[in-house]
Structure 1
Amino acid sequence: MRMFRSRTTRAVTAAVAVGLIATGCASERGKDGDKGGAKDTFVFAGAGDPGSLDPALASDGETFRVTRQAFEALLEHEPGGTKLVGGLAEKWSSNPAGTVWTFNLRKNVTFHDGEKFNAAAVCANYDHWFNWKGTYQSSAVSYYWQAIMGGFAKNEDPEAPKANYKSCTAKDENTAVIEVDRPSANLPGGFSLQALAIHSPKALKEYEKQAASGKGDAITYPKYSQEAGTVAGTGPYKITKWNKGNKEVTLTRFDGYWGDKAKVKNLVFRTIDTEEGRRQALQAGDIDGYDLVSPADVKTLKGQGYQVPTRDVFNLLYLGMTQEKNPALKKPQVRQAIAYAMDRENIVKTQLPEGGKLATQFMPDTVAGWSDKVTKYSFDTDKAKQLLKAAGESSLKVEFCYPTEVTRPYMPAPQDIFELIKADLEKAGITVVPKPLKWSPDYLDATEAGACALHMLGWTGDFNDGYNFIGTWFAEYDKQWGFKDPAVFAAVTDASKQVDPAKRVASYKKANETIMAYLPGVPISSSPPAIAFGKNVNPPKVSPLTQENFAEVSFT
């Protein structure tokens, strides 16, 4: 999740000064304290605004953090882990070919608007997405549907992929059967995505009265997705208010929830777009928790009595190379020289929290398919110089884009990391031309369009399958990388077609070995992002997928 391309531009950064936010909520929390007794509102700060209250239209982590509390998918992940477990489906199975998926659904589940959850509701959702038209077919709007299920009943967008979704059948009240044309490595993991969470059929009918409009980054999202009142899921909280002026979304406990009821009545997500601002708000008592804690603040906060758990590693930071932007990068020796020139171990030691790891390939070692036999590129400035000389590029000059106004789980301090890499490359004789760009939309647009010769990006996995990492980048030609290598593409796509799990993992290992021999870019590191909570909070289990369930939160 948390896509690195322009599909993430809906996570708008806050424009309100942190001081004003802190002042406003301090008085509000004061009123809460005057009531006496247990607190009934938990306030959590993220780094960006959600883009939509309908998760099907989103692809960014800030949106999913909010919607995950209100919507549930057929499958989920075990609390604190990456193992798939039942969600709205208690059990699931597939035919040997991996093309027919049967879900045995939970009984006595009710949507926030009173509608009953059943197999017909599941099919209504999948058919709703499959029949999207117009702007809804833009990858900026329906990225995850296209990534998991392909295109639509009738593709209007020439860039839309071939549809893989075939049908959904309500076999009986509590059994839904979803068929696809071809087996996919994205299943069953894709059934756990927030973008494919289940909505009330009544709400879907209201959704269909509205339409998204526009193109590219000038997209207007339907009204229902931009204000509370229409969207309805089955989760432990229901969305009751979106105050865009104050950068806040409010959710209220759903007392008709089928499972364990939320322990705190009200849940508020607030945007504070700087690390320092989030930390100061926690220390001032204006919020009860926040995400993306600066590594430098972890020790300080713990010393002050705050709770700062770290998630398990499930992400990747890499240096991307766009070969079509700079012809020199088409030479294998140049790409290898850049890899050898980088002291990536130093980045891990100085820029990442404790538990950060050096990356040897384009997936973390916590993902099935990681290989210990890939070609490795250790830090060696002299070897980098030799390779540049052999390639006839001893005076190489390269533009290097890096993002500003952003913090990501895999990239806690973009400019600091950039400066370290820049210094390493210059020691090897490479002239670096810095190009700072605002994260959204400038940086994301530039990297998607292949406008940056060198750039830093990353990924936090959606589910534990290797294709969710390497398939994102190397299954086919991508402007971000600007290369066409049949061996790389075939290795990745062939692995994704393996139905047998053991054979698939073996194929992923071979694909990783093929990718690192070709070296389209340089994997840098994997980081365990920290999340902070107040001294009086019983926090939720933290998730390597950043899928925390805030219904677990309570106050001491």
Structure 2
Amino acid sequence: MRIARPKAARILAAAVAIGLVVSGCASERDDGDSEGDSDTFVFGNAGDPASLDPGLASDGETFRITHQVFETLLTHESGTAELTGGLAESWESNPEGTQWTFHLRDGVKFHDGADLTGEVVCQNFDRWYNWTGTYQNTTLSYYWQAVFGGFAHNESEETPEPNYVGCTAPDDLTAVIEVAHPSANYPGGFSVEAFGIQSPNAIEAMAEDDPSGEGENITFPDYSQEAGVVSGTGPFEISEWDKSNGEVTLKRFDDYWGDRAGVSTLVFRTIPEEDARRQALQAGDIDGYDLVAPADVETLEADGFQVPVRDVFNILYLGITQDSDPALEELPVRQALAYALDRQNIVDTQLPEGGVVATQFVPHTIEGYSENVTTYEHDPEKARELLAQSGHEDLSLDFCYPTEVTRPYMPAPADIYELLRADLEDVGITVNPVPLKWNPDYTETTRDGGCNVYLLGWTGDFNDAFNFLGTWFGSYQKEWGFRNEDLFDLMAQAEVEPDVDTRVGLYQQINEMIMDFLPGVPISSSPPSIAFAPDVNPPNVSPLTRENYAEVSFKD
């Protein structure tokens, strides 16, 4: 049972709490050790989840929650990016890389009591493959299309050809997944949270409830917006999603096949503003939060809070939608944008210690990073010259940026936007601000090519450069709005190259090609920090931002 907080922490909490109003409802527990609430861990999320079904999600705030509930065939060693068994104890592929065999753990139960079998694994993959209608919109099936291609019956010419061929279960504890061609996405893609395995009962119930709408007006299926249908195998199960208070409550699953979770209740509470999350932690209303502002780290640590820092595994970039404006299709204009931006100023003022200016679209910690890319130092005069030479001194841009969120690569979106806006205006560009709520407005608008320029980024799903480069540049995508067949062809060559060293060389070549073509401007990579109360035994922090909160407990 959890005991009272240490005296120093209680005094600090009381002092900070005076006159303080924090977003979200009051804490579900006191500082005392009352039996009902002493084993509840409350984490401050930066944004609302999009769905309780990870298969319909592509954002970190959703995956932070679903990662505790659903498990994938493969996962990563706690606190690292090293691939290891998840629901599969072991796995192998044929020499061609087109057949992947997974040997499942015995005795795994779903939250609704069903057993994990090879047939259930196949039901999940076949469900995703056979999606129709609105499910084929990338808002809902982004990761399926990114890792496995299209569907059994594609309904749009823009949907990629399917790479998934089928799944068979030769026995209860084996699943064999066949793909049409080898890919650098495998085996890492089998660890992506979107492919969390659901129970057969849940799959049957989901079939009765479809999404609707298109474009920016997608309506998620009802089953994904409330507890009761989805069912995984993880150490926690979903108890409630209280949207009015911005809280998702998870309860410990006592029949979990692995180590028992260290707390009985896990609450994720949405507190969009970083200052409010920090104040909530200091006041004792929450026990942890992510994406600590760099300026707050020293203060929190001095007051006894724990602020571990993750390894660098992300990229922040200025995206450019070329076909949204003819001027952006001209390379000198895109080069002008790159020279206009003072990216070092972003690193110095907005990122935690260890942040670096990005020279390309993969972080320096990933094999395939090239030392020979074209670089664009901050040079406002050169930017003005390029705009003048191209006849676009009067360039006007709609600049989209997200609100009500912070991201591992973007701790303060509005502040970063303001600095970049000032840089662009300094070289004569008119900037029209377009602030949008992160989920779903911003993610849908940028993905559908609805902005001239925008701020986005990526935290790697697994340790391969293709997870970065292939995410953006393997084919035409609305958010980038360009067609470069030479680049697409080289990406396709790298994807199926079986020799790792050769593939890494191709990645380096691709990075050099990209930075000459300049589809966007990579800005920075940063090591995001996460904060916990003094009385918490925190989980191992993950470079993938995939913390396992079953590892959390409270100090005696």
Q: Which moved more, 1:306-315 or 1:203-212?
A: 203-212
**Per-residue CA distance 1:292-343 (angstroms, 9 max, x = gap):** 2222211211111111112111111112223333333333233223322322
1:136-535 equivalences in 2 (<5 Å): 136-394=135-393, 396-427=395-426, 429-440=427-438, 441-535=440-534
Task: Letter of the 2:188 partner, please give it.
Answer: G
Q: Which runs of 5+ in 2 are unaligned?
A: 1-19
Counterpart residue type for residue 183 of structure 1 = P
Cα-to-partner distance string for 1:42-100 (whole Å, 9 max, x where unaligned): 01110112222211122221111111111110000111111111101111111121110
Give the superposition deviation at 1:113.
Answer: 1.6
**Residues of 1 paired with 2:445 and 2:228: CA distance?**
36
Closer/same/farther in 2, CA of residues 387 and 210 from structure 1, 3 Å limit: closer
Structure 1: distance between partners of 2:353 and 2:173? 46
Q: In the alignment, is the contact (CA less than 8 A) between 1:400 and 1:432 conserved in 2?
A: no
Q: Name the stretch that deviates more: 169-178 or 72-81.
A: 169-178
The number of residues matched between the two structures is 535
The verdict on how the C-alpha distance between 1:158 and 1:342 changes in structure 2, with shifts beyond 3 A counting, is closer
Deviation at 1:446, TM superposition (A): 4.1
CA offset digits 1:420-473 (Å, max 9, x no partner): 22333344x322323232234554444334343332221122112212212222
Residue of structure 2 in register with 1:11 after alignment:
none
State the shift of 1:213 in Å: 2.6
Identify which range, 53-62 or 329-338, moves more after superposition: 329-338
Match of 2:26 in 1: 25
1:92-171 maps to which residues of 2 (within 5 A)?
Answer: 92-171=91-170
Secondary structure of 1:53 counterpart: coil
Give how far 1:196 is off.
Answer: 0.8
- Residue 393 of structure 1 and its aligned partner are, at CA, apart by 4.2
Structure 1 446/165 Cα, relative in aligned 2: closer, same or farther at 3 Å? closer
Cα gap change, 1:386 to 1:276, in 2 (>3 Å): same
Among the aligned pairs, what percent are the same residue?
A: 59
Deviations 1:249-290 (A, max 9, x none): 111111111111101111111111111111111111011111
Distance 1:387 1:20 in 2: 48
Q: Secondary structure at the match of 1:85?
A: strand
Residue 220 to residue 452, structure 1, CA distance change in 2 (3 Å): closer
Structure 1 pair 467–54 and aligned structure 2 pair: CA distance change class (3 A): same
SS in 2 for 1:300: helix
User: Would you say the 8 A contact 2:147–2:185 is kept in 1?
Assistant: yes
> Secondary structure of the equivalent of 1:121?
helix
Residue pair 2:29, 2:40 contacting (<8 A) in 1 also: no
8 Å Cα contact 1:462/1:545 also seen in 2: yes
Question: Would you say the 8 A contact 1:321–1:520 is kept in 2?
Answer: yes
**Maintained 8 Å contact 1:21/1:246:** no
Letter in 2 for 1:246: N
CA spacing shift, 1:321–1:155, aligned 2, 3 Å:
closer
Cα deviation code 1:495-525 (max 9, x no counterpart): 1121222222111111111101111221110
Two-structure CA RMSD over aligned residues (Å): 2.2
* One-letter amino acid matched to 2:428: I
Whether the aligned pair in 2 keeps the contact of 1:39 and 1:555 (CA below 8 Å) is no
Deviates more, 1:190-199 or 1:379-388: 379-388
**Letter in structure 1 aligned against 2:537:** N
Moved more, 393-402 or 362-371: 393-402
How far, CA to CA, are the matches of 2:22 and 2:302 in structure 1? Answer: 27
Q: What is the SS of the residue equivalent to 2:44?
A: strand
Report the TM-score, using the length of structure 2 for normalisation. 0.91
